[in-house]
Amino acid sequence: MGAQRDQVFISNGGIADVNVVVATVDPDLGHRGQASFVVPKGTPGLAMGKKEDKLGIRASQTAEVVLENVRVPMENLLGGLEKLERKLERARRGESGGASGALATFEVTRPFVGASALGIARAAYEWTLDYLHGQTAPEGGPLLEQQRVQQVIADVATEIEAARMLVWRAAWMGRNGIPMTGGQGSMSKLKAGDVTMWATTALMDLVGPEASLTDHPLEKWFRDAKIYQLFEGTAQVQRLVVSRMQVAERERLVAEIAAEACKMRRKTP
């Protein structure tokens, strides 16, 4: 694979038994000239670079993967050579490549990322409810009966449930092989990440200054939440994906309706 190149911010980088590397095999075709290869652990030239010291999810290994003059056998080409040659030939003829396999894969995997984010939001929410239970407000009366507290609790609970429904729908579609042509997988990850970041922040505000201490559960969940707006596609990228897929889906539906109407007119005597 040529000279040394560092692939950064790789989950399980340097410790994974199997690495999937996307490499360019025809530079003239741009991104359509890429192929995916399986590079097993222990392959000569494959090494771990810098291990990152992260803000959150610190139990997850994140490191550079260094590739230096790595050679892999042809059987490690994902999909096989025949499929790759057909793909490259279509690209050279300027034909549409159809739906991106990588994008379709991301749509299926993003609900799992959303579910992980929601686990953080739910943990922070339940911990805060338990913490506030039985406490008295400075002005008297149970803290959980204060309207300002109830408003936050209601909003957090509602947003978590809304995000959960998006995650469940996308996971069900992926499990049943239903194409997520409207960006349902990206929607679920986008919503879950934003909700988790907002919810942990709002709950810290309820608890007060002690929630910012480094030995406090909410401080950890707050740090862990941020990555879900960044990895597997940033929140901004998710919005671009959803927008483009929604437009494409609408155009497809309009074309189908027009074709059906044309067919019906031809059948009418």
CA distances from 115 to 31, 111, 182, 189, 218 (A): 30, 6, 19, 8, 19
The confidence band for 1, taking pLDDT boundaries of 50, 70 and 90, is: very low
The SS3 of residue 48 is: strand
pLDDT above 90 (res 95): no
pLDDT above 50 (res 75): yes
**Residue 217 is encoded by which pair of tokens?**
């559960």
The SS3 of residue 67 is: strand
Q: What pLDDT is stored for residue 102 in this prediction? A: 64
Provide the CA 161 distance to its chain's centre, in angstroms.
19
What amino acid is encoded at 47 in this protein? A
Helix ranges (DSSP H) in 47-138: 81-92, 101-132
How many CB atoms sit inside 10 A of residue 257's CB?
10
The confidence band for 2, taking pLDDT boundaries of 50, 70 and 90, is: very low
pLDDT above 60 (res 9): yes
Residue among 89, 210, 232, 251 flagged as catalytic: 232
* CB contact set of 234 (below 8 Å; sequence gap of 6+): none
The confidence band for 269, taking pLDDT boundaries of 50, 70 and 90, is: low
Task: Report d(CA 218, CA 212) in Å as an integer.
Answer: 8
pLDDT one-digit tens code per residue, 196-245 = 999 999 999 999 999 999 999 999 999 999 999 999 889 999 999 999 99
Q: What residue ranges in the chain does DSSP mark as E strands?
A: 5-11, 18-24, 34-40, 46-51, 62-67
Compute the CA torsion angle 212, 119, 155, 165 (nearest 10 deg): 160
pLDDT one-digit tens code per residue, 132-151 = 998 998 888 899 999 999 99
Strand (E) or helix (H) holding 78: none
Q: 232 an active-site residue?
A: yes
pLDDT above 80 (res 62): yes
* CB contact set of 171 (below 8 Å; sequence gap of 6+): 111, 112, 115, 188
CA distances from 126 to 95, 145, 168, 205, 210 (A): 53, 17, 20, 15, 17
**Residue 247 is encoded by which pair of tokens?**
């437009």
